[in-house]
Amino acid sequence: MNTTLSYFPAASRMWSVVPLPSTTGTSLPLMGNVILSGVDVIQVTSIECIYLNIKHSHESSRIAHGTIIKSEISYCFVVRIESITSRQTVERLMDQCRKLDESSNTTHMEYWVKIPDDRLDSFNHCMIKGKKSHFISCINGEVLPTDFRRTRNGFWEDGKGHVSEFRVFMDNVSAAEVIRKYVRGLGYIYREYDSMDRLDYVLADRGLLSIWFRADERHSIKVKLKVDHRSAWPATDEGKDAHIVRDGERLYVVSTNGATFFNVESNGIVSYGLTEGYLTILVADFTLLHMTISSDDVAERENEFDQSIKYHLGIMDSLLVETGNGKLDKLFLWAKHDLLEFYSETGVGSGWFAGFPVFSWFFGRDGLWMGLAANMCGLGEITVKHMQTLLNHSRNGQIPHEIALNSGNQEYEVSRTSTDTRFMSIDSNLLWILCNHSLKYWGYGPFPDSVEDKILGFSMSCDTDGDMLLENDFKRGLIGWPETWASQRDGKCVDINALWIAVLESLGSRFNSRDLQVARERYLEEFFGGQEFIDSIDSTSAHRVKSAMLLLPAMFLHDERVKEQFSRLRGNDMMTPWGVRSMSVEDGKYDGGYHTGMVWPLMTGWFSIAAYRQGFFDQGYDQIKTFAENAFHSTDPGRINEAYASDQPTPTGQFAQGWSSSMFIMSLLGGMVGMSIWSDGSNDLKSVFNPHLPEDIKEITLRHFNWHGEKFKVVVNNQNVTMEREE
């Protein structure tokens, strides 16, 4: 069976496509001199192509048909080739990854490379993930023990844990002592140790982790792992009485709460043992070892890895950005990949997990910010699935804040109060409606008005005093983002009502224009008509807090009062070289804490979009660049953390957070390129763009730009926008 291959050119190179005549039956190398009828001799030297099955093969492959991709300095093939085995794919990827070093981070779009500084540096988190399962380990390939319930390190399928610890000893030496290099590719992780290579992947469509080891000479290895059948928070059940069962070549560990299946193939001598819940796998005198860990008893099938790689490379079919800035272009590709990677199919629904390792279940607020980004870059089908899951778990029109993967008591301490987190938000409803209008704007099938009206009805019920503005109520769980001080924000809040005004404007003729005008003017008068930096207004007084919540009105409203206040949020008390603080250092609430000072990429994105909307283009661009700097200096290169310390660029929170990378997408597209986020009242394609490019970016090319089911190539600069349909 033939499989279509994909490519992605290096940043800043101009590529053209030259038709390749049919060469069926001709065996040609993928690199080296290529001679074709009607085509000059071509020296194929480029290593800037991603192949679906193999990359940069030095062997011959039978070509059915294909394309020559030509740049100013090199050429490469994009062809259809015969399917090959997973082992061949794995070994070719190992060979390619061996050649990489950290300089490859700025020359190769498809890899992130890390050379650990020392042993401790190798204990930072990394992840590989499919739709059904994920494996979170350290850079060195080991998994250390955690609570293994909220912190979902190790190997998980849906809401069930399988492996909570994973230790590797090569010739009796720990992996942490001999790790040389770590490479994250699209759908796999490679590691180079002193004496062997390793490549891990998780299948895209089912719960199976595959780990390969390869050595140039005969070596021994011991893998010690803990099989732990705990259920994810808030469930409390866990496996007991674990024991090994052998069934021919298959091995599985069974407990009272599940079973985990193992398959080990090697040219060495394999033995097993189970002691106090720890399974030990010993392999002596080997050069090749393949181990799978799965949630069912179905062995890995031939070419399943190829299909998984194809799934991850599918990210190339949606929007691609070429700015001439290699860091921005690469991060855009990988931020989109986060949207693909975080997508999960579970027993309670499908959509985006919010972050890893702790927030690996469904959230309303988080996933809906991700949805706005996904719609803009051609991944709206996932947005629909996430919104449907939220709708399925809604209650009387209220969109949930948090959907756990297992049943149980979801009480959690919020603002020093035990709170049921299932419906702990007021803004999830508002973001759901905005996402629905975004779906319509970008040409995806939105949910019908009758469904939206029910969601809208709940939001309108939050206007308890009839003044057309919404009131937070901590006791009812109706709160916004800053959860640690949510109990101090009862009443009308600046961020929630900015979203509310945006919702009312998005409804157009479905909402009374006079009521919209009343709500808008009342909001502006109460929050921007007197004292500055008003955060909330309760029944007795207005409360001043200089925080990132004040950025939201500047994202949505064009008014001189909003612009004037935003201009006073641009100082060093809020800004850092690595992003925007959640609270000003000048505010009395500031302590550098989680919601009271830490730098959040989420808020950095809010600031960047607001800066472009309000005409502060240079500062908007400055903050866009912080996303790239954080990603390129990440402990797991290419990832953007949930948050960073307020006084130094130390990452904290989740090492992989969905809305962090999504806000980079929105900042670049909604800010610099000036694309509408959900609607500007027009269906004219050219009206989508209002670019404000910095001096060092002369033009931006958008490929595979999706507009109502059609793909376009769009080129924007500060004077003009050109577009043409793609074939």
CATH code, 259: 2.70.98
User: What's the token pair of residue 15?
Assistant: 């590529």
Report the pLDDT averaged over residues 75-95.
64
Residue 228 domain flag: yes
Can you say whether the dihedral through the CA atoms of 11, 15, 19, 20 is positive or negative? negative
Residue 313 domain flag: no
Q: What is the CATH number of the domain that holds 555?
A: 1.50.10.10
Residue 465 domain flag: yes
Residue 40 domain flag: yes
* 74 and 95 together in one domain: no
For residue 188, pLDDT over 90 is answered with: yes
Give this prediction's pTM. Answer: 0.89
pLDDT value at position 495? Answer: 98
- Of 63, 83, 103, the one marking the end of a domain is 83
pLDDT tens profile 349-391: 999 999 999 999 999 999 999 999 999 999 999 999 999 999 9
CB atoms inside a 10 Å sphere around CB 394: 20
Beta-carbon contacts of residue 475 (< 8 Å; ≥ 6 apart): none
Residue 26 domain flag: yes
For residue 432, pLDDT over 70 is answered with: yes
* 462 and 379 together in one domain: yes
- Look up tokens 């890893």; give the residue: 356
pLDDT band at 427 (very low <50, low <70, confident <90, very high): very high
For residue 65, pLDDT over 60 is answered with: no
Residue 518 domain flag: yes
The rounded radius of gyration (Å) of the Cα atoms in the chain is 26
pLDDT tens profile 242-295: 999 988 767 999 999 999 999 999 999 999 998 887 999 999 999 999 999 999
% pLDDT > 90, the chain: 81
Query: In this structure, what DSSP letter does residue 101 have?
Result: -
CB atoms inside a 10 Å sphere around CB 663: 31
* 125 and 206 together in one domain: yes
User: Whose CA is closest to 228, among 143, 168, 299?
Assistant: 143
* 269 and 198 together in one domain: yes
- The mean-pLDDT minimum among 95-104, 118-127, 510-519, 583-592 falls in 510-519
* 584 and 594 together in one domain: yes
For residue 55, pLDDT over 70 is answered with: no
pLDDT value at position 277? Answer: 77
- Of 83, 107, 134, the one marking the end of a domain is 83
Question: What is the helix (H) or strand (E) element at residue 292, kind and residue range?
Answer: strand 278-294
pLDDT value at position 682? Answer: 65
* 510 and 628 together in one domain: yes
Total tally of structural domains belonging to the chain: 4
Residue 568 domain flag: yes
Three-state SS at 448: coil
* 663 and 561 together in one domain: yes
For residue 422, pLDDT over 60 is answered with: yes
* 528 and 632 together in one domain: yes
Q: In this structure, what are the phi and psi dihedrals at residue 662, rounded to the nearest 5 degrees?
A: -65, -35
- The mean-pLDDT minimum among 42-46, 277-281, 344-348, 467-471 falls in 42-46
Report the pLDDT averaged over residues 40-51.
31
Contact 286, 280 (CB under 8 A): no
What single-letter amino acid sits at 285? Answer: D
Measured CA to CA, the distance from residue 723 to residue 703 in angstroms comes to 10
* 72 and 27 together in one domain: yes
% pLDDT > 70, the chain: 88
For residue 556, pLDDT over 80 is answered with: yes
Contact 566, 551 (CB under 8 A): yes
Can you say whether the dihedral through the CA atoms of 361, 364, 369, 373 is positive or negative? positive
Can you say whether the dihedral through the CA atoms of 188, 191, 196, 202 is positive or negative? negative
Question: What is the helix (H) or strand (E) element at residue 133, kind and residue range?
Answer: strand 133-138
Measured CA to CA, the distance from residue 2 to residue 647 in angstroms comes to 54
* 62 and 103 together in one domain: no
- Of 307, 324, 344, the one marking the end of a domain is 307
Report the pLDDT averaged over residues 535-556.
97
pLDDT value at position 270? Answer: 95
| Full residue range of the structural domain in which residue 290 is found | 87-307
- The mean-pLDDT minimum among 7-21, 122-136, 288-302 falls in 7-21
Measured CA to CA, the distance from residue 305 to residue 128 in angstroms comes to 13
* 202 and 166 together in one domain: yes
pLDDT value at position 276? Answer: 80
- Look up tokens 């972050």; give the residue: 355
* 302 and 378 together in one domain: no
Three-class HEC string of 294-325: ECCCCCCCCCHHHHHHHHHHHHHHCCEEECCC
Report the pLDDT averaged over residues 187-197.
98
Residue 324 domain flag: no
pLDDT value at position 413? Answer: 86
pLDDT value at position 135? Answer: 98
pLDDT value at position 415? Answer: 86
Measured at the CA of 370, the angle between CA 366 and CA 372, to 5 degrees, comes to 120
Q: In this structure, what are the phi and psi dihedrals at residue 435, rounded to the nearest 5 degrees?
A: -65, -40
